[in-house]
Amino acid sequence: MTPRPAFVLHEHRRPRRHHDLRLEEDGVLRSWALPKGLPTSPAADRLAIAVPDHDLAHLTYTDEDKAIADTGWWELLDRTGRRTLFALHGRGGTRRYALIRTGGPQARNLLLHLTKDQDQAP
C-alpha cells in the first residue's frame, strides 16, 4: 500500500498572523501562504501565494511563532493547467478545495476555493 501524502497547515503569529498550507508531493512540501487562512465558505475565496517548497521536516516543525493548526493527509482529485482539486483529510474531517490559477503558469498568486460539493468528499 502506498503511503498517503501528508499535509500541514501552519499558523504563523509573526511578522503578522497568517497560515501556510503545505502539501507533500514529489518528496517536498508544496507551499502557499494564506494571508486570511482557509476559506470557510464557497462564496469567499482566499488568496494563496505560492512560496518556495519546504523539506518534509516542516510536517512537524513548530517554534515560538509557528504552530500546527491542522495536519493529516491529502488527496489529489483532479488537476488541469489552471486548477488543482484536492481533499484535505484533517483532524476535523474532510474538506474539498480548489487552487485556481488566475494568471499564467508562473503566476504566484492563486485563489483557494472551498468547493460547494462537500458532501461528495471521500
On the 0-12 / 13-18 / 19+ scale of CB atoms within 10 A, 94 is: middle
pLDDT value for 14:
86
Whether pLDDT at 121 is above 60? no
Give the start-to-end residue ranges of the domains of the chain. 6-120
Contact 92, 33 (CB under 8 A): no
**Whole-prediction pTM value?**
0.91
Whether pLDDT at 1 is above 70? no
Q: What is the pLDDT of residues 22-45, one digit of tens each?
A: 999 999 999 999 999 999 999 999
